[in-house]
Structure 1
Amino acid sequence: MIVKPSGTSNNAFFVIPEDADDLFTLRRIVEKHDHVIADTNRVIKQVKEYGRPDKGERIKVRVCIRVEQSELDAAVDRLRITGTIVETDNELVTKGTHHSLSLEAGDSITIDKGRKWQDVEIKMLKRSGISASFILVAIDTQEAAVARVSGTHVKVIPNIYSGQSGKRYQTKNNPNIETYFTDIAKTVSSIIGENDKVIIFGPGETRRRFFNALVGRQEIAKERVQVVDGVDVAGEDGIFVFLRSPQMKEAMSASKLASVSSMLDRVMLMVNKGEAKFAMGMHEVSQAAELKAIETVVFSDSIFKTANEEQLVKLLNSIESIGAKTFAVDSSTDIGLRVSSLGGIVALLRYAVR
Structure 2
Amino acid sequence: MGSRQLGLLLNWIDGKKGLRLTPENTYDLWTLRRTIQPGDLVQSWTSREVKIEGEFQRPDRGRRVRVRVKIEVESVRYDYDLGRIRVRGRIVDSDNELVPHGSFHSLDVLPLTDILLWRRDYPAWMIKRLQGRRLSRSQVLIAIDSREAGVGLLSGLTLKVYGTVESGLSGKQYAQDNEKLLRTYFGNIMGLLKSIPPPTRGQIVIGGPGNTKNRLANLISEAGLSKEVVLLDGYDVAGDDGVRLMPSSTSFRELVASTEYAQVQDLIETMTSYLARGDERVALGVERCAFAAKKGAVRSLLLSDAIFKRVDEETIVGLANETEAKGGEAYLLDSSTILGAQVDGLGGAVALLRYTIPTPV
Q: TM-score w.r.t. structure 2 length?
A: 0.88
One of 330, 333, 336 as aligned partner of 2:337: 333
Aligned to 1:315: 319
Looking at structure 1, the residues matched to 288 and 346 of structure 2 have their Cα atoms a distance apart, in angstroms, of 12
The residue correspondences of 1:1-354 to structure 2 (distance < 5 A) are 1-46=7-52, 53-73=59-79, 75=81, 77-113=83-119, 115-165=120-170, 174=179, 176-191=181-196, 192-193=198-199, 196-221=202-227, 224-354=228-358
Change (3 A) 1:219 1:99: closer
Looking at structure 2, the residues matched to 55 and 336 of structure 1 have their Cα atoms a distance apart, in angstroms, of 49
Give deviations 1:38-73, integer Å, cap 9, x for gaps: 111111124577998313211111111111221223
Change (3 A) 1:125 1:302: same
Looking at structure 2, the residues matched to 166 and 274 of structure 1 have their Cα atoms a distance apart, in angstroms, of 53
Q: TM-score w.r.t. structure 1 length?
A: 0.89
Give deviations 1:275-304, integer Å, cap 9, x for gaps: 111111111111211222211111012222
Give deviations 1:167-216, integer Å, cap 9, x for gaps: 86989x94553443343234334425467211111011222232233223
What SS does structure 1 have at the residue aligned with 2:169? coil
What SS does structure 1 have at the residue aligned with 2:300? strand
Contact 2:201-2:226 at 8 Å conserved across structures = no
Looking at structure 1, the residues matched to 57 and 215 of structure 2 have their Cα atoms a distance apart, in angstroms, of 71
What SS does structure 2 have at the residue aligned with 1:123? helix
Deviates more, 1:279-288 or 1:303-312: 303-312
What SS does structure 2 have at the residue aligned with 1:18? coil
What SS does structure 1 have at the residue aligned with 2:59? coil
Please report how far the alpha carbon of residue 219 of structure 1 lies from its aligned counterpart in structure 2 after TM superposition: 4.1
Change (3 A) 1:207 1:74: closer
Deviates more, 1:328-337 or 1:33-42: 328-337
Looking at structure 1, the residues matched to 314 and 91 of structure 2 have their Cα atoms a distance apart, in angstroms, of 24
Please report how far the alpha carbon of residue 151 of structure 1 lies from its aligned counterpart in structure 2 after TM superposition: 1.6
Give deviations 1:145-171, integer Å, cap 9, x for gaps: 111001211111221222223686989
Contact 1:22-1:128 at 8 Å conserved across structures = yes
What SS does structure 1 have at the residue aligned with 2:86? strand
What SS does structure 1 have at the residue aligned with 2:38? coil
Structure 1 stretches of 5 or more lacking a match?
none
Deviates more, 1:15-24 or 1:141-150: 15-24
Please report how far the alpha carbon of residue 30 of structure 1 lies from its aligned counterpart in structure 2 after TM superposition: 0.8
Residue identity over aligned pairs, in percent, reads 35
Cα RMSD between the aligned structures?
2.6
Give deviations 1:233-256, integer Å, cap 9, x for gaps: 211121123233222322232332
Looking at structure 2, the residues matched to 29 and 138 of structure 1 have their Cα atoms a distance apart, in angstroms, of 36
Looking at structure 1, the residues matched to 145 and 214 of structure 2 have their Cα atoms a distance apart, in angstroms, of 10
* Matched letter for residue 352 of structure 2: L
Give deviations 1:102-151, integer Å, cap 9, x for gaps: 222222211112x4522112112111222111110111112111110012
Contact 2:10-2:22 at 8 Å conserved across structures = no
* Matched letter for residue 348 of structure 1: L
* Matched letter for residue 318 of structure 1: E
What SS does structure 1 have at the residue aligned with 2:236? coil
Looking at structure 2, the residues matched to 170 and 271 of structure 1 have their Cα atoms a distance apart, in angstroms, of 55
Contact 1:11-1:117 at 8 Å conserved across structures = no
Please report how far the alpha carbon of residue 343 of structure 1 lies from its aligned counterpart in structure 2 after TM superposition: 1.2
* Matched letter for residue 331 of structure 2: F
Please report how far the alpha carbon of residue 335 of structure 1 lies from its aligned counterpart in structure 2 after TM superposition: 2.5
Please report how far the alpha carbon of residue 344 of structure 1 lies from its aligned counterpart in structure 2 after TM superposition: 1.1
Looking at structure 1, the residues matched to 174 and 123 of structure 2 have their Cα atoms a distance apart, in angstroms, of 59
Looking at structure 1, the residues matched to 229 and 320 of structure 2 have their Cα atoms a distance apart, in angstroms, of 36
